[in-house]
C-alpha cells in the first residue's frame, strides 16, 4: 500500500469520525453504505422518477392539451435520415408518452428513396398524436434539415433531439415548469439545458449519466458539455439565425455559443431528461465516428472569438472532442509573486530555482514574506538568494505564529504588479509557460478574476484540479489522487474549467479585485482562506477559472507539518470549518453550482451519489447563471 493510499484511508477515517460526531452514527453508516453501493452495478431505471411521480404528473394534466395546460409549448426539432425503424419507434414513443401535453414534435425527413418506411412509421404515429408534424425535405445537411424542422414549429420554445435517441418521460413537463420558475424569479428564461444519460438498448438500463455544472462559459469553449436536452425561445433561435451549415457536425455547439452570448448565460435543470443512444456512428461514442466534428467545432469557436472580439487561436485539446482557446494576453502585465516562508530553505530553493530557471513570462517580481524563521542559516540563505535571483525581495511579517491570510496581505503592500500570484514555498515549477497560461485565462477582455493551476503530488497524481465546495461537508479538491494525464469526469480534469474556488497554493488574482475584497480574511488563519476569498470574489460577480495547462508539483504543507496529530491545530481547523458556514451559509457551501447534486459529496472523484432520491422523487430545481462580471477597466495590462 503506497503513501497516497494510506493518506486517503486516514482522510476517510477522519471524515467518518467527524460525521458520526456531528451528525450521528446513523448518518455516518448511511454514507458508508453509499460508498459501498457506488462500487456495485447500477440499479435499473436509476435516473428515472418513481412511477408514482410520473403518474401524478399525468394526472395533473389529464384531459388538457397544449393550449390549456398552462405550460409553455416546446417544439422538439428532429431531422430524420434513414432512421432504423426500431430507433424511430422508440423515439416517437418517448414523445407520445410524455407526462405533460405541452409538446410538439417537428420532423424534417431527408431520408433517401430506399427508406420509405421512415415516412410510413411517422404517419402511423400522427394518427395517434396530432402534435406530430412532418415534412419530407431535400437533404442539405444536419443544420439545414434542423432549420427546416424549426420552420414547422408553433411552440414558444424549441428543443433539439436526435432521431435515434429517447426523451425522458418527464422531459417537457420539467422544462415547462422550469421556465415558469425562472419567470417567477425574474430570471432570464431564454436558454435552458438538462442532464443526460447514455444507453444502448433500454433507458431502464443506462450506462452512465452526464451530470453537468451550472452554466460554465470557459468549459463550454473547451467542449459541448451542454448537449442534451437544450431548450430555448423560438424567437431567440430566429434572432441568432438558426443553425449554421458551415458548422455541420458541431452545429449545436455553435448554436449554444450564440444563444448564451445573446442571453448572457443559461439555466441548468439538474434532472436526466434525455437519453443518448450509443451505437456505431453516433457521436455519443466519440468524434472518431464522425471525424469532421472536430474541424466544425474549431470553426464554431473561431467564429465565436470573432463575434465577441476575443483574441486567440483555437487548437485541439488534450483529448478528442475537447478544444483549447489559446488566449492572447492583453499587454505585458506585471505579476507580483508572493511566497510566505519559514525556514525549510531546501524546499524554498527548489521553488525559487525552478521559478527563475523555467518561467518564460518575463515581467514578474518575487516577494518572499519571512514568517518567524528560527534557523539563523535561513537569513544567510535570503542574502545569497537576493544576490542570485534578480529582483527578489525579502520582507519580514511583523506578526507571530502562522496566519496565511495576514502574511499574504502584508506582502501585498510591497507588490507593484497588476496581478498577484499567491504561491506556496513547497511547489516546484514543471513547465515554462505556467505563468503565461494563468495570465491567458485572466489578462484579457472578459477574463476571469482568479485562476488556479494543476498541482500534482510527487508520485504524479493530482493534488488540485479546482476546488468543489461541499465535498466532505466543506470543500475538497476536484479529481484528487487521479493520475496526471487522465481526462477526469466529462473531461473536467483536462479542460479549462469554471470553479467556485481554487487553492491558494498557486492562485493568480487581479490586484484590483484583491484590494476590492480587502485581501484574504485573516480570521481564516490556516484553512479555507482561499475558499472564502474565492467565494467572495464570485459573490461580487467575477469568475474563477482553473487550467490544466499550468502544471506544478506540490509537496503540500511541508513547512507547517501535519495538522492531524496536534489537538490545537485540529480545534483551529474545526473552528475555521464552522466559520466558513457562518460567512457563506451551509446551504450555499453544500450546493456548489459547478458540481452536481447527483454526484457524491463523500469523495473527490466525481462518482455518482448512491442517494438517488433527488432523481426518483424530484423537486424542481433550476439554476440561472450568467457569464460573470468584467474586470475593472485598466487593471489587466
Q: Cα angle vertex 572, ends 587, 555, to 5°?
A: 95
Give the C-alpha separation, 501 to 514, whole Å. 14
Residue 438 pLDDT: 98
Flag whether 272 is in a domain.
yes
Domain membership of residue 98 as a residue range = 51-286
By DSSP bridging, strand 462-464 and strand 450-456 are antiparallel
C-alpha cell at 583: 460567512
Instruction: Specify whether 229 is located in the same domain as 370.
Output: no
Under DSSP, the state recorded for 288 is G
Q: Tell me which of 589, 611, 630 is where a domain ends.
A: 589
Flag whether 318 is in a domain.
no
Q: Per mean pLDDT, which range of 106-115, 359-368, 554-563 is the poorest? A: 554-563
Residue 560 pLDDT: 45
| Pair 108, 133: CB distance under 8 Å | no
Q: What is the CATH number of the domain that holds 217?
A: 3.90.550.10
Instruction: Specify whether 537 is located in the same domain as 418.
Output: yes
Residue 561 pLDDT: 46
The model's confidence at residue 15, banded by pLDDT at 50, 70 and 90, is low
Instruction: Specify whether 347 is located in the same domain as 271.
Output: no
Flag whether 116 is in a domain.
yes
Q: Which residue has the higher pLDDT, 620 or 559?
A: 620
Instruction: Specify whether 456 is located in the same domain as 524.
Output: yes
The model's confidence at residue 480, banded by pLDDT at 50, 70 and 90, is very high
Q: Per mean pLDDT, which range of 95-99, 169-173, 432-436, 577-581 is the poorest? A: 577-581
Q: Tell me which of 553, 574, 589 is where a domain ends.
A: 589
Give the C-alpha separation, 352 to 342, whole Å. 14
Mean pLDDT of 182-205: 97
* 359: region left, alpha or beta (phi > 0 left; psi from -120 to 50 alpha): beta
Mean pLDDT of 477-493: 96
Q: Tell me which of 247, 269, 286 is where a domain ends.
A: 286
Flag whether 311 is in a domain.
no
Flag whether 607 is in a domain.
no
Q: Look-up: residue for cell 389529464?
A: 62
Q: Cα-flanking dihedrals φ and ψ of residue 208, to 5°?
A: -165, 165
Residue 573 pLDDT: 83
- Structurally, how many domains does the chain consist of? 2
Instruction: Specify whether 342 is located in the same domain as 273.
Output: no
* 229: preceding bond cis by omega (within 30 degrees): yes
The model's confidence at residue 8, banded by pLDDT at 50, 70 and 90, is low
Instruction: Specify whether 263 is located in the same domain as 180.
Output: yes
Instruction: Specify whether 132 is located in the same domain as 280.
Output: yes
Q: Read off the pTM.
A: 0.91
Tell me the per-residue pLDDT of 369-408, one tens digit each, with 9 for 90 and over. Answer: 999 999 999 999 999 999 999 989 999 999 999 999 999 9
Instruction: Specify whether 400 is located in the same domain as 487.
Output: yes
Q: Per mean pLDDT, which range of 124-133, 357-366, 507-516 is the poorest? A: 124-133
Flag whether 499 is in a domain.
yes
Q: Which residues pair with 451 in a beta bridge?
A: 508, 545
Residue 566 pLDDT: 72
Flag whether 18 is in a domain.
no
> 407: helix, coil or strand?
helix
User: What HEC string does 592-609 produce?
Assistant: CCCCCCCECCCCCCCCEC
Tell me the per-residue pLDDT of 308-341, one tens digit each, with 9 for 90 and over. Answer: 999 999 999 999 999 999 999 999 999 999 999 9
Instruction: Specify whether 132 is located in the same domain as 209.
Output: yes
Residue 338 pLDDT: 98
Q: Which residues pair with 529 in a beta bridge?
A: none
Flag whether 267 is in a domain.
yes
User: What HEC string does 480-500 produce?
Assistant: CCCECCCCCHHHCCCCCEECC
Contacts of 106 (CB under 8 A, 6+ apart): 75, 76, 77, 78, 133, 149, 150, 152, 153
| Pair 524, 438: CB distance under 8 Å | no
Distances, alpha carbon 75 to alpha carbons 154, 349, 436, in Å: 7, 63, 46
| Pair 336, 422: CB distance under 8 Å | no
Amino acid at each position: 500500500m503506497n503513501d497516497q493510499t494510506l493518506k486517503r484511508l486516514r482522510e476517510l477515517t477522519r471524515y467518518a469520525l467527524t460525521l458520526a460526531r456531528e451528525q450521528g452514527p446513523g448518518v455516518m453508516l448511511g454514507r458508508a453504505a453509499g460508498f459501498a453501493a457506488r462500487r456495485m452495478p447500477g440499479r435499473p431505471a436509476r435516473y428515472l422518477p418513481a412511477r408514482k411521480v410520473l403518474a401524478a404528473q399525468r394526472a395533473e394534466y389529464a384531459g388538457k392539451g397544449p393550449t390549456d395546460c398552462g405550460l409553455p409549448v416546446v417544439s422538439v426539432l428532429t431531422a430524420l435520415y434513414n432512421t432504423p425503424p426500431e430507433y424511430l419507434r422508440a423515439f416517437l414513443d418517448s414523445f407520445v408518452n410524455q407526462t405533460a401535453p405541452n409538446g410538439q414534435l417537428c420532423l424534417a425527413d431527408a431520408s433517401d428513396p430506399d427508406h420509405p418506411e421512415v415516412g410510413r412509421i411517422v404517419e402511423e404515429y400522427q394518427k395517434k398524436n396530432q402534435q406530430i408534424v412532418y415534412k419530407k425535405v431535400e437533404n442539405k445537411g444536419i443544420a439545414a434539415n434542423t432549420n427546416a424542422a424549426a420552420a414547422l414549429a408553433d411552440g414558444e420554445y424549441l428543443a433539439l433531439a436526435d432521431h435515434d435517441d429517447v426523451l425522458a418521460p418527464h422531459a417537457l413537463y420539467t422544462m415547462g415548469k422550469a421556465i415558469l420558475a425562472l419567470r417567477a424569479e425574474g430570471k432570464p428564461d431564454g436558454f435552458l439545458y438538462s442532464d443526460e444519460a447514455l444507453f444502448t438498448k433500454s433507458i431502464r438500463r443506462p450506462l452512465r449519466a452526464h451530470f453537468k455544472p451550472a452554466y460554465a462559459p470557459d468549459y463550454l469553449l473547451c467542449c459541448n458539455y451542454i448537449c442534451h436536452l437544450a431548450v430555448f425561445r423560438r424567437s431567440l433561435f430566429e434572432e441568432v439565425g438558426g443553425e449554421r451549415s458551415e458548422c455541420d457536425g458541431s452545429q449545436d455547439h455553435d448554436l449554444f455559443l450564440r444563444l448564451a452570448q445573446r442571453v448572457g448565460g443559461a439555466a441548468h435543470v439538474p434532472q436526466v431528461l434525455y437519453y443518448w443512444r450509443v451505437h456505431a456512428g453516433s457521436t455519443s461514442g466519440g468524434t472518431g465516428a464522425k471525424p469532421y466534428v472536430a474541424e466544425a467545432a474549431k470553426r464554431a469557436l473561431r467564429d465565436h472569438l470573432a463575434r465577441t472580439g476575443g483574441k486567440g487561436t483555437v487548437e485541439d485539446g488534450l483529448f478528442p472532442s475537447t478544444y483549447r482557446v489559446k488566449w492572447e494576453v492583453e499587454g505585458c502585465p506585471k505579476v507580483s509573486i508572493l511566497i510566505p516562508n519559514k525556514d525549510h530553505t531546501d524546499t524554498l530553493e527548489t521553488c525559487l530555482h525552478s521559478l527563475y530557471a523555467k518561467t518564460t513570462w518575463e515581467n514578474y517580481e518575487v516577494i518572499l514574506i519571512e514568517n518567524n524563521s528560527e534557523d539563523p542559516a535561513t537569513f544567510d540563505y535570503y542574502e545569497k538568494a537576493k544576490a542570485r535571483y534578480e529582483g527578489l525581495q525579502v520582507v519580514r511579517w511583523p506578526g507571530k505564529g502562522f496566519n496565511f491570510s495576514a502574511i499574504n496581505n502584508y506582502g501585498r503592500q510591497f507588490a507593484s504588479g497588476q496581478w498577484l500570484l499567491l504561491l506556496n514555498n513547497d511547489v516546484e515549477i514543471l513547465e515554462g509557460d505556467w505563468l503565461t497560461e494563468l495570465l491567458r485565462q485572466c489578462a484579457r477582455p472578459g477574463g476571469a478574476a482568479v485562476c488556479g493551476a494543476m498541482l500534482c503530488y510527487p508520485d504524479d497524481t493530482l493534488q488540485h484540479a479546482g476546488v468543489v465546495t461541499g465535498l466532505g461537508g466543506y470543500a475538497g479538491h476536484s479529481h484528487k489522487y487521479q493520475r496526471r494525464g487522465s481526462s477526469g469526469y466529462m473531461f473536467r480534469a483536462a479542460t479549462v474549467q469554471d470553479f467556485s474556488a481554487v487553492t491558494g497554493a498557486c492562485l493568480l488574482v487581479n490586484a484590483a479585485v484583491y484590494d476590492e475584497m480587502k485581501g484574504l480574511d485573516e480570521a481564516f488563519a490556516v484553512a479555507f482562506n482561499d475558499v472564502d476569498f474565492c467565494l467572495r470574489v464570485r459573490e461580487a460577480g467575477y469568475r474563477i477559472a482553473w487550467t490544466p495547462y499550468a502544471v506544478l508539483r506540490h509537496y503540500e504543507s511541508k513547512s507547517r507539518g501535519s495538522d492531524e496529530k496536534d489537538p490545537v491545530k485540529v480545534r483551529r481547523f474545526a473552528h475555521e470549518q464552522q466559520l466558513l458556514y457562518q460567512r457563506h451559509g451551509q446551504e450555499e457551501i453544500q450546493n456548489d453550482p459547478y458540481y452536481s447534486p447527483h454526484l457524491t459529496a463523500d469523495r473527490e472523484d466525481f462518482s455518482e451519489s448512491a442517494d438517488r432520491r433527488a432523481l426518483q422523487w424530484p423537486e424542481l430545481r433550476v439554476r440561472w447563471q450568467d457569464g460573470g462580471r468584467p474586470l475593472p477597466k485598466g487593471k489587466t495590462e
